Amino acid sequence: MHVIKGTSPLFQCFYLGKIKYLKALKLQETLVQWQTNHLNNCNPILLLLQHYPVYTVGIRSSVYSKQEENHLLSLGADFVRTKRGGLITFHGPGQLVAYPIFNLKIVDFGVRKYVETLEEVIINLSGRYGIQAERSPHTGVWVGNNKLCAMGINCQGRITSHGLALNCNTDMKWFSHIVACGIHGKGVTSFTEILQKPVTVKEVLPMFLDEFSRCFNCDMTPLRHLPEAFSLDDMYEEVSHNSPRSNLLSRQESYEDM
């Protein structure tokens, strides 16, 4: 386990429910700017959510033509070009997405150690199900030749954004239309596929929070639910100012709508 020097950071934790990718992306960008402008007066943020179906590509997005983009759009998913690392991947319901947004200085991490710690969270979480997951030169967390959890981060002035996407009970057919993360000869899997029984985001989330807290040696606030009906401005105000308009829920109650 990585040990963080000094006082444990306190992560403000929010569950956004199912949310369009572009709305979450704009929220991340706004929060990164907020963290940048208030370097010494911001709590670290952990956004947890599921996306509606979307294909996203990273900083090398030029390798995907407009024709390929239109084909994927015709399947009923969105298509978004982003500033994260990595190539193409899919996000959708049944996938636990985590976007930590914070200054790496508070944990005394470099980027490589940060990514390794995210991987450690998922490896430990998989172990709770008796699954032997591992790192790979291709980044992310793997079970054999199949990727269980994709990772792609952005670090701007040591402020992190983007993060990870863990397949719980994702519809794996969406991945059949792409070479996931641009890695040929490899596959994609999920907890549900490995264990041959339904494993939902609702089930996985409390264990994910436990492992995140353990691996980052951090404290975490009770999960706050930001309703989908909230505007982008409402979400930003809620997260950045920690105002009381969202529903402060116990961990058990927080998962009932997933």
First to last CA, the chain: 30
Q: Are the CB atoms for 125 and 168 separated by under 8 Å?
A: no
What is the DSSP secondary structure assignment for residue 1, as one 8-state letter?
-
What is the rounded CA–CA span in Å between residue 164 and residue 47?
11
Residue with tokens 């969202």: 246
Length of the chain as a residue count:
258
In sign, the C-alpha dihedral spanning 154, 11, 211, 202 is negative
Query: Rounded to 5 degrees, what are φ and ψ at 69?
Result: -60, -45
Contact 94, 54 (CB under 8 A): no
Q: Which residues are catalytic?
A: 181
Task: Give yes or no for a contact between 226 and 48, defined as CB atoms under 8 angstroms apart.
Answer: no
Closest CA to 52 of 206, 163, 180, 171: 171
